[in-house]
Structure 1
Amino acid sequence: MRLAVDCQKDPSVQGNAFTAPSIASENMLEKYSEFLLNVCDTLCIPIVMEYYEKTPSARLMEVFFSILNVQYSILPNTAKRFSIKLASSSFIKFTVELKAKFCSGSRNPRLNQICSDFLCCMCRILFSAMKNVLNYQHESDIVNCAWKRVQKIKTHY
């Protein structure tokens, strides 16, 4: 993952980051990033969660949430989908409970910061997505109200 993040920052590798220069490729960095996101979603998250249930470890969760945070920077155009999926899997509750368990007082400040960054990023994205839905709903309500008024006026004339 670190390789994908570093490649995103270097414009010289943007066009052909993960193939030989002679091989034509389009959006290889994006494809590789999607692969990493898929691996994280299908393998990493379930395995870590299963391990955590058996043997809770602050250090493991620190690495895990660091990986989740990196997912937002590797492929920002999938952040909304990623956040919705995590939120629907009770990750907000899980993260808050984890912080309470491992970070109360001044214990595990690095884990506390990583979890806070993760929650902040995920909630910001979810809020933005919800705001868009609410704006759409509000605009839709205005259009429906106007349409009903037009229909009402039509029936009177």
Structure 2
Amino acid sequence: MIESFHEFVVQRSAALSRTAYLLTGDHQHAEDLLQSALARSYRHWRRIRDGDPEAYVRRVMYHQQVSWWRRRRVTERLEAEPTERARTDHSDGTALRLSVAAALRRLTPRQRAVVVLRYYEDLTEAQVAEVLGCSVGTVKRHGHDAVVRLREIAPDLVEAVPERSAR
């Protein structure tokens, strides 16, 4: 049992870590979130190892992040313009990633989870509903609200995304 869990952790930690970072917006919190989810998953490893253990760990992460957020309720105040400008020139890709991360942090935990699952993990609305334990309508509502909110708080991201061609 321990060997199969260790093998799973070695193979999937990088992908799970990226998802945790997108959910939290902070590397240290992402590490804590992933470790917590893996610890919880280990307790049930015999039951989940033959199914889809990665989906189980992701679901634990999404629920744990919402739980932490509810307990913390620390409000952060984000300024429209940074008080200090960096003197080094960053590449366009880095600036875009930072903008996306900052915009995701300003969404509610549920909206952030839906956006990450739908657009980063490329899950269907039904799969997102299953992972989050809610209805497809709830997923659609949170997704819609998240896109509207992202357009309000980060209009520069809309311009950075290439248009999809009509099919």
TM-score by length of 1: 0.29
**Structure of greater Rg:** 1
TM-score by length of 2: 0.28
